[in-house]
Structure 1
């Protein structure tokens, strides 16, 4: 079977799938918006500060012969973002919105599908919100459809979002687009799943969100790999017990990731013995967060190497998310020696060996968050042991295994 893989921006999991497809000898074509390969003009341009965004679009040179680019809409989105042209970026309607980038890219893939011998079995591998036109073309040409669902299916997400908007109305504006997606966008998601022959998910939380009407579809659960960390990057700072316990939250600063509950937990604790460090992108003016909990230390986003360095200055990682797929930042934190406090909805339930690598808590429970932070505060001598265990457990999740699970399932699909 030959596979056509498509994703407009590409991230670590897309790169892993692409690399695995090349190594298995079954990649037919790889569509993306912008791809910089080692030594290429785009790769050199990425070293210019103005074009640093291109560093996120670097790919292994083995993909170069298979890659087809459709850059124009994505270039427009990046420039519009830099120029703060908000009207061009409006959700769904803006000409350079993420939705429009995905839709035009999807149409491009469908219109440029490689024509091959009909005797060769083929499959289209595409991602949520960017698969509909590709899958429609595939079905017309007897091509299998592999659907990658990286976050909980929209029905589960919307239900939880609406409940959160009612529970914590002050945080409603931080929930993101999932609460206000148009019916047209939701219909596209439904149709994409309907057309799928196989669904790839990163966690049990996402798998369990798939609706009953799609239960008969082949579902492949493959957890993301832990980012590789060099030895030079992985020296955990030894922290004195005489200093506050540093609890880290990292991610977009909204209630989708449960930040409102973490702030509520800090208000319950009401102690200077715990320092909350919040790193991520603002979803509201900074004054909003200070009004909710004034005592946190804000750290803006930064290059990945510096993120890891910040993690090593902290003691515990907390992510009480309401809706995720599988938050990769959990494994990054563990790789830096941080035990974790998370909800099942982070998609990382399997990362928890209770009391060894961290603690699993229910969603919407500031009391439980406060209880576990208090445990770490009162048992600081246990943190080095849990730190070592967290590192070891995180290392059992590799990108090689992530890709292999998917490739093996694709091969089974072709039999």
Structure 2
């Protein structure tokens, strides 16, 4: 069985997309001969002296598919828009699967407009361009979503064959006990729809003198002026980029993912694998994996009050109860190792 793998992401980076694409490709290699791999560097428009456009990624992918002498039995696409490529492959008899780590389009646009005054992704904002962008998913034989929320969003877009396979995590080698001081952590990007503003607002409402909110990830090191504009109270630590995710998880007692909308949120599973209870918004797809009140809590989106309430509840627990909740989170995470998730991908690929 000859296969094709295609993504506009860079396979194997430390980003969510890089991690997922690495594991998808490994799964595809385990059940087929991968004849062609197309990733960001090989199809990015600037390589061909063209302006940046998601639709041009598709054009240059199609060009390379058409010049290949191989017939592909199956093809898998990760995210982005590859409508022309999918159409061409379907006409040749190729079975196509597509991963859609979908955000809620309306919530994402609303959050950008609220916090930044504009939305930068015209292909998502414009209804006509969005229909073109999403057509490839409707044409695919099967669409994989990492969460029930993502699946529901694309069912409403007309995708006829949806399956939910959550993202996974690697079990960490170095897991430290919960620290003596109760600190809350966040690791990730800072886009408006990540909801970090609501976590910061919750923290200033609590105004603890003996606990810190630790923010990590590229750009967090420069957040001090912005934080003080919205949060006059509270202790904050801004780590910036960390060498390893464990550098954040091992120094906090609780992890919080306050996303307004996010297809999954791998950091949630990573934190659980480190034995940390989690507070996760309903907007993050990883909330599917949180047993409310057992491994952490699920809270409404855009609600600093709900985040603050759950942080306060966890802080008030005896240390042994908080640690036990963390151990339950760790046991739950072990059901979603990348090894297990790759097997689920592989079974799907062979079923096409």
TM-score band, normalised by the shorter chain?
0.7 to 0.9
Residues 162 and 179 in structure 1, CA contact (< 8 A), matched pair in contact too: no
- Report the CA distance shift for 1:71/1:206 in structure 2 as closer, same or farther (over 3 A): closer
Unaligned stretches of 5+ residues in structure 1: 35-69, 77-87, 89-93
Deviations 1:269-296 (A, max 9, x none): 1232331111123398652232112542
Equivalent residue number for residue 19 of structure 2: 12
User: Take 1:194 and 1:412, find their aligned partners in 2: how far apart are those partners?
Assistant: 19
1:132 and 2:83 are equivalent in the alignment: yes
Q: What's the offset of the Cα at 1:370?
A: 0.8
Equivalent residue number for residue 108 of structure 2: 161
Residues 29 and 114 in structure 1, CA contact (< 8 A), matched pair in contact too: no
User: Take 2:120 and 2:249, find their aligned partners in 1: how far apart are those partners?
Assistant: 26
User: Take 1:391 and 1:143, find their aligned partners in 2: how far apart are those partners?
Assistant: 40
Equivalent residue number for residue 251 of structure 1: 188
Deviations 1:142-175 (A, max 9, x none): 22221110223xxxx2311344356xx3x23597
User: Take 1:127 and 1:374, find their aligned partners in 2: how far apart are those partners?
Assistant: 39
User: Take 1:178 and 1:227, find their aligned partners in 2: how far apart are those partners?
Assistant: 35
TM-score (norm 2): 0.85
Equivalent residue number for residue 319 of structure 1: 257
Residues 174 and 255 in structure 1, CA contact (< 8 A), matched pair in contact too: no
User: Which residue of 135, 143, 150 corresponds with 1:199?
Assistant: 143
Q: Per the alignment, in what secondary structure is the counterpart of residue 183 of structure 2?
A: strand
User: Take 2:53 and 2:256, find their aligned partners in 1: how far apart are those partners?
Assistant: 29
RMSD between superposed Cα atoms in Å: 2.9
User: Which residue of 274, 278, 281 corresponds with 2:215?
Assistant: 278
Equivalent residue number for residue 29 of structure 1: 36
Q: Per the alignment, in what secondary structure is the counterpart of residue 395 of structure 1?
A: helix
User: Take 2:267 and 2:87, find their aligned partners in 1: how far apart are those partners?
Assistant: 34
Q: Relative contact order: is structure 1 or structure 2 higher (C-alpha 8 Å, sep ≥ 6)?
A: 2
Q: Per the alignment, in what secondary structure is the counterpart of residue 332 of structure 2?
A: helix
Structure label with greater radius of gyration: 1
User: Take 1:151 and 1:264, find their aligned partners in 2: how far apart are those partners?
Assistant: 26
Q: Per the alignment, in what secondary structure is the counterpart of residue 210 of structure 1?
A: helix
Q: Per the alignment, in what secondary structure is the counterpart of residue 135 of structure 2?
A: helix
TM-score (norm 1): 0.73
Unaligned stretches of 5+ residues in structure 2: 12-17
Q: What's the offset of the Cα at 1:326?
A: 0.8
User: Which residue of 218, 223, 239 corresponds with 2:161?
Assistant: 218
Equivalent residue number for residue 293 of structure 1: 231
Q: Per the alignment, in what secondary structure is the counterpart of residue 356 of structure 1?
A: coil
User: Take 1:176 and 1:334, find their aligned partners in 2: how far apart are those partners?
Assistant: 33
- Report the CA distance shift for 1:105/1:401 in structure 2 as closer, same or farther (over 3 A): farther
Q: What's the offset of the Cα at 1:325?
A: 0.9
Q: What's the offset of the Cα at 1:102?
A: 3.2
Equivalent residue number for residue 146 of structure 1: 97
- Report the CA distance shift for 1:205/1:265 in structure 2 as closer, same or farther (over 3 A): same
Residues 169 and 270 in structure 2, CA contact (< 8 A), matched pair in contact too: yes
Q: What's the offset of the Cα at 1:331?
A: 1.1
- Report the CA distance shift for 1:383/1:114 in structure 2 as closer, same or farther (over 3 A): farther
